Amino acid sequence: MASINDLVTEARKTTNPTLTTVASTRAVSGSSLTCTDLSGWPTNTAVHFITYKKTATGAIDKTTQCDWKGIVSGSTIGTLTLKSGTDAGNAIGDFVEMGPTAAYAQDMAAAIEAEHSTLGVHDATKVAMLAGAQTFTGQKTFTSPKVITDISDTNGNEIFKVTPTASAVNEVTVANAATGNNPTFTASGGDSNVGITFATKGTGKLQGVVENLKNPYKFYVYRNAAYTPTGTNPIQFDTKAFDTSSNVDVVTNKGRFTAPIAGFYFFSSFISISATLSGATGFGISLMKNGSQILGGQLGVETYTGNGNYGRTVSGLLQLSAGDYVEVFDPYAAGKALSVGAINCYFQGFLVSAT
């Protein structure tokens, strides 16, 4: 099919629309026609033309009109296609003229449809021009459209601006949702880990979302079963009050928290004993990172003789890499049964911020 540009060129270039006698004959279904003069006709592109037979007196017989499509090369119109009329064969036309035939109009409409289908304009009477404002009514389908600068509202005011990044591989994906579910605004792209940065301008604040932000990493574990520390191993916590992202092991390495991401984490722990002391007794608590003590808590010697309740606490902020683990340790608690339960022997923590 000829493009719309070819068809417009054909119409504009025709400076000799009326030509004289066809200088050759051809059989029915022959593929070319030789004319005496084709000057002014566009070459190497499809053209539409009309042939007529002449009567014995030399008059044009309009009843013999045939509409053709072909390609001009020199004085020959080749690759002939009969669009309408009856191919009489032999001297098929004694008279040839260029003209806006019905077939030409049909091809023009088809070319418009083909070249503008990507704009979502499927009605040949509505042409989306390259220049000037255009209004699209009804549903139109745009596959990967390119927004150069911004999307504006009905008043021409900017709603959403676009800033291109050379060789970009990451982007955001927006998805709607069915009843009972929330739409999503998701980081996506070629990288394995992709975050989202919201940057305010000047002293502007991020409004309307802070109260909905959630910290996915927080836990509270405690010792439920009777327990006497060895003094050489971390304190064993066997029960979870909560562990929102399953980062604490209470089965194998009981009470071990493993950092899911790099960041700053806050931890606190409390352990206690209820015992009858008969002399000076050491009792303390600390935090261990990857098996080594990193943060000390209360450490002291109880000198009271008799029955009593004694507790120690530790708390602080630690910077961890993903995969680092933290445990509670009391090197002085060997042989002293701890008071157990969620309020007497616990370990808790949460992510403060990612690095």
Of 124-133, 157-166, 218-227, 312-321, which gets the smallest average pLDDT?
124-133
Q: What is the pLDDT of residue 94?
A: 67
Residue 105 — pLDDT band, cuts 50, 70, 90? low
* Least confident range of 11-20, 251-260, 266-275, 310-319: 11-20
pLDDT value at 207 more than 90: no
Percent of the chain residues past pLDDT 70, beyond the cut:
71
Q: Is residue 208 part of a domain?
A: no
Please give the pLDDT value at position 218: 96
> Which of 88, 107, 126 is where one domain is finished?
107
- The domain boundary, picked from 83, 107, 131, lies at 107
Q: Do 222 and 103 share a domain, yes or no?
A: no
CA nearest neighbour of 310 among 351, 272, 342, 345: 272
| 146 pLDDT more than 90 | no
Residue type (1 letter), 50: I
pLDDT at 42 exceeding the cut of 50: yes
Domain carrying residue 265: 218-354
pLDDT at 283: 67
What does the CA dihedral 259, 261, 263, 268 come to, rounded to 10 degrees?
A: -20
Does pLDDT of 197 surpass 70? yes
Q: Which is more confident, 1 or 249? A: 249
Closest CA to 76 of 49, 107, 114, 113: 49
Decide if 80 contacts 49 (C-beta within 8 A). no
Read off the CATH number of the domain in which 265 is found.
2.60.120.40
Q: Residue 321 pLDDT > 90, yes or no?
A: yes
8 sits in which H/E element: helix 4-13
The span from the CA of 124 to the CA of 117, in Å, is: 10
Are 103 and 222 found together in one domain?
A: no
Q: Which residue has the tokens 């992510």?
A: 351
Count of the separate structural domains present in the chain? 2
Residue 191 lies in a domain: no
Checking if the pLDDT of 22 tops 70, the result is: no
The number of beta carbons lying within 10 Å of the beta carbon of residue 212 is 6
* Inside any domain, residue 164: no
Instruction: Write out the two tokens for 178.
Output: 């069915």
Evaluate whether residue 32 is within a structural domain.
Answer: yes
Helices within 43-127 (DSSP H only): 102-116
The answer to whether residue 318 sits within a structural domain is yes
Q: Of 61, 82, 107, which residue constitutes the final position of a domain?
A: 107
Amino acid at 61: D
pLDDT above 70 (res 224): yes
Q: What local confidence, expressed as pLDDT, does residue 336 receive?
A: 76
Within 10 angstroms of residue 235's Cβ, the number of other Cβ atoms is 22
Residue 284 is predicted with a pLDDT of 77
